[in-house]
Amino acid sequence: MKKVMSLILAISVFISGGNLCAFAKKDESSNKNVIVNTATYEDKGFLRTIAETTLASVGPMIITFGAAVILSKVVQVVSTHHNLMKAKKAAGIIEVASNPVKVLQDFDFIMKDLKGQEAAKKQLKSIILGIVDKNAKHIKHGDRKKAGPGANIIYLIGPSGVGKSFAADKLRVLLSGTLSNPYVVEASDVDKQSKASATEQLFGMSVKRLADKEYYEQSPIISRLEATPQMTLVINEYDKLCTPELDEKIRTLKDQGYICVNGKKIDGSGLDVIITSNESRESMESGNLEEVIVDDGTGSRTHVQHDKAFRNRVNLVVFDNLTKEAYEEIALPKFDTLVKDLKEEYDINVNLGDTVKKISKKVEEINQGARPIFNFIDKLNADILNNVVLKRLEDNSYRGIELNIDYDEVTNNFVIEEQVKEVSNVLDLEELVAA
């Protein structure tokens, strides 16, 4: 845009220069400027002639510059509109939940795969009911915004790998519909080497460089929020990026329902914020930035510090460590899927025996959430492919075999044994009679 304006100004200067040449001409002999249109000078007077000629020469420049300014504003408006439409499209189709009965029915179905977190599910159901009930009342009174005046903040805390991110995704579906796309922030999205703070990077203006010049641009979250005030924002692993400043910004969204960016108020009253954090209850309830140094051994980061004002503004949901039975509920369908895949792809029959029970017990001992289950599944799949399929690939003799799987808790390895089919000699009936 700046290059276009420079070109327009250059053209205007060229036009103006042509007009000035018509007014003044250089006398080569005296090396002085003389008036060439003397008749006009005598009839109209010197000052009037100067004014008219100056207007004729400078006028096009003024008009051209004005047109350039107007064009710049038009381009800016069109660009802003384009960015808003782009952000709105990225948010998908948002359907504000306003039927409490339906949402509670959907909750039980959509959360059925969240294992071992009955207390957390009970808390979540109560929170969702309150949000949707307020939605219904606001819509009934003609206000299409969500549960105003402030944003809804749902804060999920607990050990890593116990279902917080899973629950966050399902909450988004319950609150905004299956066709909505939440804006998801991962801890790695914040550049800790940047001069800008995490708060500025997420909720402010950032400095961009184009060639050798700098310009300011509002953050993608703010662009999305400006386009779709009823959006859902998910922040994962908040414990890795939180600061008192960021806590305060989120608290303000809850209290005031808007956020100030570069002097402009952005409506946030319809915003749903779902935060996951690997911290313990003691971390959230420790008081005004009091340091917690106790490690509860659950894999939670207990050193996170918050102000009580922040704690009092969020809907806190505590996720517990999973038990062996919960791990078994999670692992069983995943291992069954592996067995089916091996049968379909390689015609290999796999008998797991009590492998799933042993794996669930081991995962409970590891105490790192449910993620190790998937590591075990990948390991078993790799062992079968490398030690069975690959070795018999030339003659396809792996097809139709049966494998018995066991897990050695001491060596932390799978034991794979092929079941030998017993062949029984059945005597012919006639031979049997003759005998």
Residue 427 — very low, low, confident or very high, per pLDDT cuts 50/70/90?
A: very low
Q: pLDDT tens, 32-67? A: 444 444 444 455 565 666 666 666 666 677 777 677
Top-confidence residue, 73 or 170: 170
pLDDT tier at 372 (50, 70, 90 boundaries)?
very high
pLDDT tens digit sequence for 84-141: 677 767 777 777 777 888 888 899 999 999 999 999 999 999 999 988 888 777 766 6
The pLDDT assigned to 48 comes to 65
CB count within 10 Å of CB 76 equals: 11
pLDDT value for 27 = 43
Higher pLDDT, 31 or 124: 124
- Reported as a single tens digit per residue, the pLDDT across 297-322 is 555 556 677 888 888 889 999 998 89
User: Given this model, what pLDDT does residue 92 score?
Assistant: 77
Q: For residues 136-150, give the mean pLDDT.
A: 61
| pLDDT band at 429; cut points 50, 70, 90 | very low
* pLDDT for position 145: 47
In Å, the largest CA–CA distance within the chain is 150
How high is the pLDDT of residue 406?
A: 96
Q: Provide the pLDDT for residue 305.
A: 79
Confidence label for 280 from pLDDT (cuts 50, 70 and 90):
confident
Question: What per-residue confidence (pLDDT) applies to 387?
Answer: 94
Q: How many residues does the chain have?
A: 435
Under the banding of pLDDT at 50, 70 and 90, the label for residue 5 is low
pLDDT of residue 415: 95
Q: Work out the pLDDT band at 404, boundaries 50, 70, 90.
A: very high
pLDDT recorded at residue 426: 45
Mean pLDDT of 359-377: 92
Q: What is the pLDDT of residues 8-27, one digit of tens each?
A: 555 554 455 445 444 444 44
Supply the CATH classification number for the domain 324-418.
1.10.8
206 or 121: which leads in pLDDT: 121
Report the 3 state secondary structure along the chain.
Answer: CHHHHHHHHHHHHHHHHHHHHHHEEEECCCCEEEECCHHHHHHHCHHHHHHHHHHHHHHHHHHHHHHHHHHHHHHHHHHHHHHHHHHHHHCECCCCCCCHHHHHHHHHHHCCCCCCCHHHHHHHHHHHHHHHHHHHHHHHCCCCCCCCCCCEEEEEECCCCCCHHHHHHHHHHHHHCCCECCEEECHHHCCCCCCCCHHHHHHCEEEEEECCEEEEEECHHHHHHHHCCCCEEEECCHHHCCCHHHHHHHHHHHHHCEEEECCEEEECCCCEEEEEECCCHHHHCCCCCCCCCCCCCCCCCCCCCCCHHHHCCCEEEECCCCCHHHHHHHHHHHHHHHHHHHHHHHCCEEECCCHHHHHHHHHHHHCCCCHHHHHHHHHHHHHHHHHHHHHHCCCCCCCCCEEEEEEECCCCEEEEEECCCCCCCCCCHHHHHHC
pLDDT interval class at 31 (50, 70, 90): very low
Please compute the mean of the pLDDT values over residues 243-247 and round it to a whole number. 91
CATH class of 100-186+228-318: alpha beta
